[in-house]
Amino acid sequence: MFAALPLLDPFSVFRRYKDMRSLGLLGMNQRNHKYIARYNARSLFPIVDNKLHTKELALEYRLTTPDLLGVIDNQHDASLLDRFICDKEGFCIKPAKGSGGKGILVIKACEQGRYQKTNGDWLELAAVQRHVSNILAGLFSLGGATDVAMIETLLVPSHALAKYSHHGVPDIRVIVFRGIPVMAMMRLACTESHGKANLHQGAIGVGLNIATGRAINAVQRDRCIERHPDTGVLLSELQVPRWHELLRLACSCHEICGLGYLGVDLVIDEREGPALLELNARPGLSIQIANNAGLLPRLRQIEAIKKPELWTVDKKIEFALAHFSR
Amino acid sequence: MNHSKTPFVILIFLLVFAGLALSWHRHITYNVPWLPGEQQQVWSVEARIEFVGENTPAIVSLAVPETQTGFERISEYTASPGYGLEFVERGGVRRAEWSVRLAQGKQVLYYRAEYAAKKMLQVKQASAQIVESKLLRGSGPHITVARTLLESAKKKSADEFTLTRELIREFNNQIEGVFLLEQHASREAWLVALLQQVGVASRRVSVLELEDGRRRSQLLDYLQVFSGDDYVLFDPFTGERNAESPVLMWEYHSQPALDVLGGRNSRLSFSVIEQKMPVGDLVVRQREMQSNLLDFSIHTLPLSEQALFKGILLIPIGVLVVCLLRILIGIRTAGTFMPVLIAISFIQTSLVTGLVGFVLIVGTGLLIRGYLSQLNLLLVARISAVIISVIILIALLAVLSYQLGLSEGLKISFFPMIILSWTIERMSILWEEEGGQEVLAQVGGSLFVAVITYALMMNEYVQHLTFNFLGLQLVIMAIVLILGTYTGYRLFELQRFYAMIKK
Ligand SMILES: Nc1ncnc2c1ncn2[C@@H]1O[C@H](COP(=O)(O)OP(=O)(O)O)[C@@H](O)[C@H]1O
Ligand SMILES: [Mg+2]
């Protein structure tokens, strides 16, 4: 509360405003007006706002993504849930139109009709069915619209990363502008974020060097931290494996959906390598805090190029390595 | 992909120019001042006559009030297509008389007049005739009751006015006796008869309560009691000499207020609007009555619509506030324009009642919603259940506060219930997902925006400008459009990215 007081002082406001400009920080208004409205055609939004569409598209183009075990689109099928999941080790149920981690249930083990969540709690089948029925009623989707529940295979984080996350699979967010990856961060769940990997819920954001996939800086609730608050692991040593494969996957995501200003959520799976989780047409701004760098200078460099969308993936990645590494 | 900015700039320029030019035109031509102040209070009163024609010629005669103590008539105007209109004398009194060859189906006639409120203005009126009333002739229990009432009132009174007050008091106290009297004639008739009996000149008059924004109101029966050339108006039920809002005598010659020949189901209702006018300008007023293409003011509409527009024209102010606070500051609210709706209901409920009511309803609603979520209902059913609980809640609160003697609480029913229910639903999901802090932030943000909007909408200057200068709406439009292209930081972002700037 008191931290907000300097905002009443016009001089301090002006100084901060100038500092932010010189750092090249992208603000919400500018993002909406200059980037989303200009580079993301409205007609493309449904592809990314519905995870089912995204998944179908990704499977069609053979991008690595967790397999779709089944889709439940009516209350009756919710009672037949066990048919989809009976023989599976682990799985993940999510609302097709959910966002911000809402309504995602990750089951890591099944045993005698009981299901174990990532935090170790056990659920009865009835509880899982109720969750599905809530998804169908639209509890987790924007504006309460009715929704469908997707069941997909469980992703297992690569062992190089597993120790950084406390409950839940860490995911990597890459901002792809006109086909070129510009900034990346890793999101780690922790106790404070209730196993969710969303920054505004208290998860840890680790900025990644776009050239190497190595940690630059880590923040939690907009404050810098050194170690993981639950496990005490030094975050600066974090190195994402198979980084170049991941960049390639991010570039292909732009090609399949066509959105100019795109947020790609990826996971490094132990077996499959980089896998696509979901796409985002309105990626958040806190990636800048995690990277301790503004997006604007990078976006401007790309805006100066004519039709980078037509470049080959190799050329795009080369450009990113040459210009955005730290 | 780059769009040219020129058409946008031209559009903005045109909007601002047209808006200011229209306002300027109104300012110059009609002498409407830019600011309220040193102004004359003017009551616009519109009588609306409705009746059903009987396929015969029809004559409608309406009492029209003249300049009287406290009110000076400055203009009058009628709207009645197809009717001939004449102002005729009947029994030495001027009345408006419409006539038509054939009245068929539903007919609506309007008469509008404007009265400047003038405290110092005194108009003498011929005192009422004293005639012996038939009511007190003969004998019977009711005559005895009436005479006792009069006797006890007389003992406690000193002059005509105190006598009237005491008599009304007696009427209010002796419920059983009065019940008996009212089987023979109305309370007003008895009061007049008794006063006349002891030589106090008095009569029944029909008055109109003047309250800004009133629509569809009816005439009230009052008592006009004379003492020499002076007179005082009494409410026959409270005995008050000065009612809360000022009253205009509409009919005061013991004639019917409305007379319809050749029609049935006739109805007379009134709309009232309070206006401010520059003092030296009342004469020009007449001109404004003629409609004029460039006169883009809502003053050419029927009064009841004007009263409605007075509120509607304030909404863009609220919308502008929301735009400013969201785009420049970054306040989060529950539902984009929900705060404006809340602010509008605050205008009707008054601020404190509104705030308390809102917090009570949303708080209790959240509790109920918490229970409903355990029942595992489908969404539509759940929201319907919340709507019904909100309505029950509002009814309960209204009854409870009325029982406790807080008549303020009754106004709680002005809240937009469906919107409230959606707010509750959304807040409770937010609570489950993001925790109570986010709910507090959004509800607090919404209330903050609503209070600011309310304060602006209630502001005298804002009301004056929006109501009198329709052109300013175009200027507001331009500001909103410009805001839509603002790409700078929001104030709250300065806070959020603070950790980075520090380095
Ligand atoms: N198939 C899966 N296996 C394991 N964890 C998953 C799976 N899908 C999603 N998650 C977890 O849920 C989080 C959010 O998933 P995501 O699909 O990005 O949804 P949202 O749109 O809500 O962010 C991921 O960061 C990850 O931790
Ligand atoms: Mg995500």
Question: What average pLDDT does this structure show over A96-105?
Answer: 85
Q: What pLDDT shows up at residue B278?
A: 61
Task: Please check the confidence at residue B285 and state whether its pLDDT lies above 60.
Answer: no
Q: Report pLDDT for B89.
A: 85
Residue with more model confidence, B499 or A261: A261
* A62 lies in some domain: no
Highest mean pLDDT of the ranges A153-167, B400-414, B418-432: A153-167
Asked if the model's pLDDT at residue A1 lies above 60, the reply is no
- Return d(Cα B125, Cα B68) in angstroms, integer: 8
What is the least distance, in Å, from the CA of B428 to any CA of chain A? 10
> Has residue A21 been placed in a domain?
yes
**Does the residue A57 lie in any domain?**
no
| More confident site: B487 or B175 | B487
CB within 8 Å of B255: residues ≥ 6 apart: B63, B90, B91, B93, B95
- Going by pLDDT thresholds of 50, 70 and 90, the confidence category of residue B293 is very low
- On whether the CB atoms of residues B306 and B218 are closer than 8 A, the answer is no
What pLDDT, on the 0 to 100 scale, is given for residue B18?
95
* pLDDT score at B242: 62
Confidence band for B85, pLDDT divided at 50, 70 and 90: confident
- A107-121, B1-15, B384-398, B465-479, range with greatest mean pLDDT: B465-479
Which two tokens mark B351? 């601020």
Distance A188 CA to ligand 2 centre (A): 12
Q: Is the CB of A66 under 6 A from ligand 1?
A: yes
| A283 within a domain of the structure (yes/no) | yes
Shared domain check, A44 and A104: no
A1 at B interface, C-beta within 8 A? no
Q: Are residues A182 and A43 in the same domain?
A: yes
A148 and A16 together in one domain: no
Please compute the mean of the pLDDT values over residues B449-470 and round it to a whole number: 90
- Distance from the Cα of B58 to chain A's closest Cα (Å) equals 58
Shared domain check, A71 and A46: no
Question: Which residues does chain B have within 8 Å of residue A139's beta carbon, measured at their own beta carbons?
Answer: 379, 429
User: What is residue B472's predicted lDDT score, i.e. its pLDDT?
Assistant: 93
Residue A59 lies in a domain: no
Co-location of A148 and A162 in the same domain? no
Inter-chain residue contact A29 with B490, CB threshold 8 Å: yes
- B289, pLDDT greater than 60: no
- Answer whether A119's CB lies under 8 Å from A167's CB: yes
- A209 and A303 belong to one structural domain: yes
Q: Which of B6-15, B130-139, B141-150, B213-222 has the highest mean pLDDT?
A: B6-15
For residues B345 and A196, the model is more confident at B345
Residues whose CB is less than 8 angstroms from the CB of residue A122 and which lie 6 or more positions away in sequence, other chains included = A114, A115, A116
Output the residue whose Cα is nearest ligand 1's atom 13. Answer: A101
pLDDT of residue B284: 47
User: B1-20 in b/e burial notation, b at 16+ Cβ within 10 A?
Assistant: eeeeeeeeeeebeebbeebe
Position B372 pLDDT exceeds 90: no
Residue B279: per-residue pLDDT: 58
Verify that A119 and A176 share a domain, yes or no.
no
C-alpha span between B34 and B15 (Å, rounded)? 19
Q: Best-predicted range by mean pLDDT among A121-125, A267-271, B130-134, B424-428?
A: A267-271
Of A129-143, A224-238, A239-253, B42-56, the least confident: A129-143
Domain containing A71: what range?
67-153
Rounded Cα gap, residues A205 and A221, in angstroms: 9
Return contacts of A107-114, CB within 8 angstroms, 24+ apart. A107/A154, A108/A154, A110/A85
DSSP states of B65-120: --SBTTEEEEEEEEE-TT-EEEEEEETTEEEEEEEEEEEEEEEEEEEEEEEEE-TT
Q: Which residues pair with B231 in a beta bridge?
A: B226
First to last CA, chain B: 36
One domain, residues A164 and A146: no
Does the beta-carbon distance from B498 to A201 stay under 8 Å?
Answer: no
The amino acid sitting at A237 is E
Residue A135, pLDDT above cutoff 70: yes
Query: Is residue A253 scored above 60 in pLDDT?
Result: yes
Cβ atoms within 10 Å, residue B302: 16
pLDDT tens profile B224-235? 888 887 888 888
Same domain, A271 and A214: yes
Q: Are residues A272 and A178 in the same domain?
A: yes
Give the domain CATH number at A25.
3.30.470.20
- Mean pLDDT highest for which of A168-172, A311-315, B308-312? A311-315
Last residue within a domain, chosen from A153, A172, A204: A153
How many Cα atoms within 13 Å fall on the side-chain side of residue A276? 30
The answer to whether residue A3 is domain-embedded is no
CB spacing of A17 vs B485 below 8 angstroms:
no
Residue A55 located in a structural domain: no
Residue at A5 is within a domain: no
| Average pLDDT score, chain B | 83
**Residues A30, B378: C-beta atoms closer than 8 Å:** no
Q: Does residue A80 sit at the B interface (CB-CB below 8 Å)?
A: no
Helix axes B160-173, B141-155, angle to 10 degrees: 130
**B274 vs A182, higher pLDDT:** A182
Among residues A121, A153, A185, the one where a domain terminates is A153
Question: What is the DSSP secondary structure assignment for residue A227, as one 8-state letter?
Answer: B
- DSSP H helices in B263-314: 285-288, 303-312
Q: Do A24 and A73 fall within a single domain? A: no
Give CA–CA dist B243/B246, Å, rounded. Answer: 6
**Residue B70 Rama label (left phi>0; alpha psi -120 to 50; beta):** left
Per-residue pLDDT at B302 exceeds 80: no
Nearest CA in chain A to B335: A143
The residue from A153, A174, A190 where one domain ends is A153
**Per-residue pLDDT tens for A62-92?**
999 999 988 998 888 887 887 777 667 789 9
Q: Using the beta-carbon criterion (under 8 Å), do B490 and A23 form an inter-chain contact? A: no
Residue A229: both structure tokens together: 């608050």
pLDDT confidence of residue B196: 86
A100 touches chain B (CB under 8 A): yes
Q: How many domains does chain A have?
A: 2
Confidence of residue A5 (pLDDT cuts 50, 70, 90): low
Structure tokens at A107: 């089951």
Both A201 and A75 in one domain: the answer is no
DSSP A274-304: EEEEEEESS--STHHHHHTS-SHHHHHHHHT
Among the partner residues A19, A102, A133, nearest to B376 by beta-carbon distance: A133
Distance CA B411, CA B354 (A): 8
